[in-house]
Amino acid sequence: KSSENVSCCEAIIHAASYHGSLYSRPFIESFEETPMLVAVLTYMGYGILTIFGYLRDFLRHWKIERCHIAREKEEQKDFVPLYQDFENFYTRNLYMRIRDNWNRPICSVPGAKMDLMERASHDYNWTFEYTGRVVQDVINLGSYNYLGFAENTGPCADSAAEVTMKYGVGIASTRQEIGNLDRHEEMEKLVAKFLGVESAMAFGMGFATNSMNIPALAGKGCLILSDELNHASLVLGARLSGSTIRVFKHNNMQSLEKLLKEAIVHGQPRTHRPWKKILIVVEGIYSMEGSIVRLPEVIALKKRYRAYLYLDEAHSIGALGPRGRGVVDYFGLDPCDVDVMMGTFTKSFGAAGGYIAGKRLIEYLRSHSHSAVYATSMSPPVVEQIITSMKCIMGEDGTTIGCDRVRQLAENTVYFRKRLREMGFIIYGNNDSPVVPMMLYMPAKIGAFGREMLKRNIGVVVVGFPATPIIESRARFCISAAHTNDMLDRVNTYLLFKRQTIRQSRNQVCLLK
């Protein structure tokens, strides 16, 4: 689409989001439909890869081509298959072609710049060998280091080192036994204060915070209304709960309200009894789309239909809001309107683990959550990293470092998104989201883009099917407060050069014709 059409589209979204005085600020998001020609060519690309995949499987079956895949033992060939051959087709024949773009080992702090260990493959990415060379000063646009707290110098690193000397690294027990430290208690009180809620509880793994706590909050006879683009941890938690799950269109309040009405009117299937509870599950920032939840509208619907709200702020906590306190702070809402607030420490805080916060909720989870009862306590230096970085953001360390980083992240996000749009790239998401997806579409571009960027010392994450729809492959940039304008300009300069080169080659082809 032209820039005029994009602006028009954004204006329509803005107007739709601003009704009813629910929003105190403009809410602008842009999503462009895949052009028909691009969609057709993308499907053709996957079709060609699939045909060649079947041909190579045929050659492997007859031992004409060497087979690297996991197979049944010869003595077990008459057993029920342990490995589902067809399900591994995509991994075997498509993913392997571009596997060098992922799992790259780094050998430094994942800050604004990082060092990568160079590796090479001599068997088409089935195995890798290290060359012994280190690629230094790669601009890091892939880590979720939103506020730049993933660092090995400064107050956070110093505090973590001091605590390690006092408490050690491991606890070797659960919180309910003898693994409950005073630092754990202090951290949870600080998290509750930071979020403006009654109490909070921390867990050692962000993924498990969702997957193990949702089953404790909902069960048989309950209804979970889940956004279609929710993270895998939310999806797994909903499935493990045994609740009925219904999915609404991404960030579509009409779709959500329709499901709420049907749930109230019809009740449970067959019996038509009222649902024990209705739980709406959404994310603050959607990590593949760069979109921000329409939280004021979700809260309005939740209150109207007397449902509960579960908000996953894994990517938004620390990264949104004038005080860095997430999507609730971003919209200027009351934290008490969100029944269950979840977030992770793995991104903005440069640590590990996650939290659940809310009112009259935590004591119940302490005895009913599998993640609380069976999981080993969080490591003391990780806890100290969380405490120190959070105090930094809150200004309790006596400095403005945290506030400056929150402001710098917002400025970097707006600047980078604006430059990409000016250069004509198709990007998704909200103007204020530090997750910036840039569309690539075709499968061949996924591997090529990641490799070419690395040649120029720029590290990016490229994403394709099945993590995204098959015709919506993309590169995902994660902006950090640690990035400087010079770093972002260097990335933009290369992208602009690449775009101009492609246009020139197209023009030359047209002239030849």
For residue 163, give both structure tokens. 């605590």
Report whether pLDDT(508) > 70: no
- Give pLDDT, residue 489: 94
**Helix 443-455 vs helix 36-61: crossing angle, to nearest 10:** 90
| Average of per-residue pLDDT across 357-369 | 89
| Average of per-residue pLDDT across 147-157 | 95
Report whether pLDDT(391) > 70: yes
| Average of per-residue pLDDT across 470-480 | 95
Report whether pLDDT(394) > 60: yes
Least confident of 77-81, 138-142, 385-389: 77-81
What's the CA gap between 438 and 503, in Å, rounded?
18
What's the CA gap between 489 and 497, in Å, rounded?
12
Which comes out higher in pLDDT, residue 235 or 85? 235
Per-residue pLDDT band at 66 (split at 50, 70, 90)? confident
- Give pLDDT, residue 15: 33
Which comes out higher in pLDDT, residue 81 or 415? 415
Residue ranges with strand state E in 199-286: 199-203, 223-227, 244-248, 278-283
Per-residue pLDDT band at 503 (split at 50, 70, 90)? low
Mean pLDDT of the chain: 90
For residue 413, give both structure tokens. 């996000």
- Give pLDDT, residue 502: 52
Residue ranges with strand state E in 326-434: 340-344, 354-358, 429-430
Report whether pLDDT(4) > 80: no
What's the CA gap between 132 and 149, in Å, rounded?
29
Per-residue pLDDT band at 85 (split at 50, 70, 90)? low
- DSSP letters along 261-310, please? HHHHHH-STTT-PPPS-EEEEEESB-TTT--B--HHHHHHHHHHTT-EEE
What's the CA gap between 2 and 41, in Å, rounded?
21
- Give pLDDT, residue 513: 44
| Average of per-residue pLDDT across 415-435 | 94
Q: What is the pLDDT of residues 261-300, one digit of tens each?
A: 999 999 999 999 999 999 999 999 999 999 999 999 999 9
Report whether pLDDT(512) > 50: no
Q: What pTM was computed for the model?
A: 0.91
Type and span of the H or E element at 206: helix 206-211
Phi-psi label, residue 360: left if phi above 0, alpha if psi -120 to 50, beta otherwise: left
- Give pLDDT, residue 19: 46
Q: For residue 463, which of 454, 471, 52 has the smallest C-alpha distance?
A: 471
- Give pLDDT, residue 504: 52
* 3-class SS letters over 120-180: ECCCCCCCCEEEEEEEEEEEECCCCCCCCCCCCCCHHHHHHHHHHHHHCCCCCCECCCCCC
CA dist list (Å): 222 to 39, 69, 216, 361, 365: 39, 42, 12, 17, 18
- Give pLDDT, residue 500: 63
Q: What is the pLDDT of residues 310-332, one digit of tens each?
A: 999 999 999 999 999 999 999 99
Least confident of 16-20, 50-54, 302-306: 16-20
CA-only gyration radius of the chain, Å: 24
What's the CA gap between 268 and 185, in Å, rounded?
41
Per-residue pLDDT band at 436 (split at 50, 70, 90)? very high
Go through 273-289 and write b for each residue having 16 or more CB atoms within 10 A of its CB, e for each that does not.
Answer: eebebbbbbbbbbbbbb
What's the CA gap between 382 and 379, in Å, rounded?
5
- Give pLDDT, residue 86: 59
Q: What percent of the chain has pLDDT over 70?
A: 91
- Give pLDDT, residue 416: 97
One-letter amino acid identity for 48? Answer: I
DSSP 397: T
Q: What is the pLDDT of residues 12-42, one digit of tens each?
A: 343 344 444 788 778 888 888 888 999 999 9
Residue 238 Cα to chain centre, angstroms: 18
| Average of per-residue pLDDT across 209-225 | 96
Per-residue pLDDT band at 67 (split at 50, 70, 90)? confident
| Average of per-residue pLDDT across 164-181 | 93
- Give pLDDT, residue 12: 36
